[in-house]
Amino acid sequence: MESQILTVDGNQWDAFASDAGWISAAEDGKVLYFPQLPFELSPAEQALLRPELLRQGVRNISRDSKGQLKGVAGDETAQAQVGAMMARFASQATTLVDSLLPEYSQYLRAAPTSLRPTQVSTRRQSWRADDRRLHVDAFPSRPNRGERILRVFSNINPHGEPRVWRVGEPFVDVARRFLPLAHRYSPAQARLLNALHVTKSLRSEYDHLMLQLHDGMKSDMRYQRESAQVTMPFPSGSTWVCFSDQTAHAAMSGCNMIEQTFHLPVQRQYNLQASPLAILTRLAGHTLI
Ligand code: SIN
Ligand code: FE
């Protein structure tokens, strides 16, 4: 299998003059890996990164673009420090994407920034929620009708622990394997789920098929073991970027990662034919949204 990870040198968040090779790699679902691009923390910020930072019962800390912070335990000072650190990451992640993929800039919508202080390897979850299984991102309650999910990750572990991912086969291979096994789309069921507010909007056939790929991959242990994949330990102090609705990925271990998601209208890609929507539409042979 051709490598699904492209290493990009450089240590300035704003200095990656856009490059056609990187753009097409990202839009083909590869991971852009920046080994020399740390998200720098002050000693005081590093000291915050302890499990006790997380409010009981929550998995992640989040901060939305209005500055609303959720999930932090601790006094006002800790809250302010965490908020400032996450705002800085949001800004650097935006700078990075703007310099790599300038045509996207005015169309990106930033999701809340996410800080993940828990250890992934020991988290207990149902198979469907278990991100240690290879999957493409698709969310049952949030149909997106093909809108892209672009994510910037930095490993900020203060003790040098890598964040270990597995990166799987190209999306087209995932789709060729799991599409024939997918349950048929039912418009009536989609309307019912919407009426019951199980979904936030009407689940399109595209959304249905993406969930079928997500579940098909995660529920198939043989696929998990035997499909083409590489294990990639992202070192502490590194950054990586991918379209997580397209890159087959699994997070195996690590703790203390910070992440920024952006949503991009699918028609704003450089290559319209490369999107999961375009690939699934070609394979299905009819429109999906
Ligand atoms: C995921 O998107 O599946 C998890 C990524 C991570 O926690 O490293
Ligand atoms: Fe994921």
* Dihedral sign (CA 196, 199, 204, 207): negative
Q: List residues bridging with 114 in a β-sheet.
A: 62, 259
> 81 C-alpha vs ligand 1 centroid, how far in Å?
24
Tell whether the model's pLDDT for residue 17 goes beyond 90: no
Q: What is the DSSP string of 5-27?
A: EEE-----TT-----HHHHHHHH
Which residue carries 């006002």 as its tokens?
76
Which residue among 62, 123, 131 is best mutated to probe the pocket of ligand 1, counting the most ligand atoms within 8 A of its Cβ?
A: 131
Q: List residues bridging with 242 in a β-sheet.
A: 151
pLDDT of residue 57: 87
Looking at per-residue pLDDT, the higher value among 260 and 16 belongs to 260
The predicted model gives 126-134 an average pLDDT of: 96
The predicted model gives 102-109 an average pLDDT of: 97
pLDDT tens, residue by residue, 267-276: 999 999 999 9
Determine whether the shortest distance from the Cβ of 151 to ligand 1 is under 6 A: no
Pick the CATH number of 5-284 from 2.60.120, 2.60.290, 1.10.150, 2.60.40: 2.60.120
Provide the b/e sequence for 17-55 (b: ≥16 CB within 10 Å). Answer: eeeeebbebbbbbbbbbbbebbbebeeebbebbeeebbe
Residue 123 pLDDT grade (very low, low, confident, very high; cuts 50, 70, 90): confident
pLDDT of residue 279: 98
* Domain coordinates in residue numbering, the chain: 5-284
Which residue among 149, 249, 253, 260 is best mutated to probe the pocket of ligand 1, counting the most ligand atoms within 8 A of its Cβ?
A: 249
pLDDT tens, residue by residue, 139-165: 999 999 999 999 999 999 999 999 999
Q: What is the mean pLDDT of the chain?
A: 96
Max distance between CA atoms of the chain, in angstroms, equals 56
Tell whether the model's pLDDT for residue 251 goes beyond 90: yes
pLDDT of residue 126: 95
Tell whether the model's pLDDT for residue 51 goes beyond 90: no
**Ligand 1 atom closest to Cα of residue 135:** 3
pLDDT of residue 15: 87
Structure tokens at 215: 């579940």
Best CA proximity match to 148, nearest among 169, 173, 171: 171
Report d(CA 55, CA 179) in Å as an integer: 40
pTM, 2 dp: 0.97
> 200 C-alpha vs ligand 1 centroid, how far in Å?
23
Tell whether the model's pLDDT for residue 178 goes beyond 90: yes
pLDDT of residue 59: 86
pLDDT tens, residue by residue, 57-98: 888 999 999 999 999 998 999 999 999 999 999 999 999 999
